[in-house]
Amino acid sequence: MRILCLLVALATLLAGCGAQEVWAPQSELDRVRYVDDGPAELTLITVLNAGSGNGAHSALLINASERVIFDPAGTFGHPAIPERNDLIYGVSPAIERAFVDYHARITYDVQIQRLTVSRETAERAFRLAQRAGPVPKANCTRALAKLLRELPGFEHVRMSFYPNKLADDFAQIPGVRSVFIEDDDPDLKSIEAVEALADLPAVQPSR
């Protein structure tokens, strides 16, 4: 009986570890599709605890045939920004700024590492990101490491749960340009702040 109870408890725990499916309709993706004329890029975004410097979250901005952010197990979102299983679509410069500012606050800094890659590499990253989610909580860095390891030139990336390690491995690639962002905004970022930064329509309260 004790073994049976343990098995039931384990099954319940595993069921709770599944990530929630989010699947925006194709019409929404088509509506917001954003194409950037610049070079193909992969941009690693790492959120760091401002006090300890420890990594708290990782995301990947992909500039391929369209501009998206793979935000595994992330909390950023807005009804006007379509998402499919942790992949955010329609990432204009305004949406990118909103994404970064949403994470940068008095308690968290943001490190941005940009790398120009071939069109083929960026497109492969985009296709892999389309199949990678949804990602369970606390697995953001591991999901990104798995994706990057399948790209040419990223074979050295270690499988890890720690954002700092992924950022260190990414920095080893020649050509990476890094920016460090600090912000004294309050710890809690509201949906209204995202709307203002990205010029989005206000969310109407439900009746």
Q: Where are the domains of the chain?
A: 20-196
Q: How sure is the predictor about 71, in pLDDT bands with cuts at 50, 70 and 90?
A: very high
Q: How many CB atoms lie within 10 A of CB 91?
A: 22
pLDDT of residue 25: 98
Asked if 77 contacts 90 with a C-beta cutoff of 8 angstroms, the reply is no
Please give the mean pLDDT across all residues of the chain: 89
- Helix (H, G, I), strand (E, B), or coil: what is residue 192? helix
pLDDT digits (tens, 9 = 90+) for 150-191: 999 999 999 999 999 999 999 999 999 999 999 998 876 666
What is the reported pTM? Answer: 0.87
- Helix (H, G, I), strand (E, B), or coil: what is residue 179? strand
DSSP 205: P
| Sign for the pseudo-dihedral over CA of 106, 115, 140, 122 | positive
pLDDT of residue 56: 97
Q: Which residue has the higher pLDDT, 123 or 20?
A: 123
Q: How sure is the predictor about 206, in pLDDT bands with cuts at 50, 70 and 90?
A: very low
| Side-chain half-sphere exposure of 145, counting CA atoms within 13 A | 19
In this prediction, what percent of the chain has a pLDDT beyond 70?
Answer: 82
For range 121-145, the mean pLDDT: 98
For range 22-36, the mean pLDDT: 98
pLDDT of residue 200: 72
pLDDT digits (tens, 9 = 90+) for 91-115: 999 999 999 999 999 999 999 999 9
User: What order do you get walking across the sheet with 87-88 strand by strand?
Assistant: 83-84, 87-88, 67-70, 55-63, 41-49, 108-116, 177-181
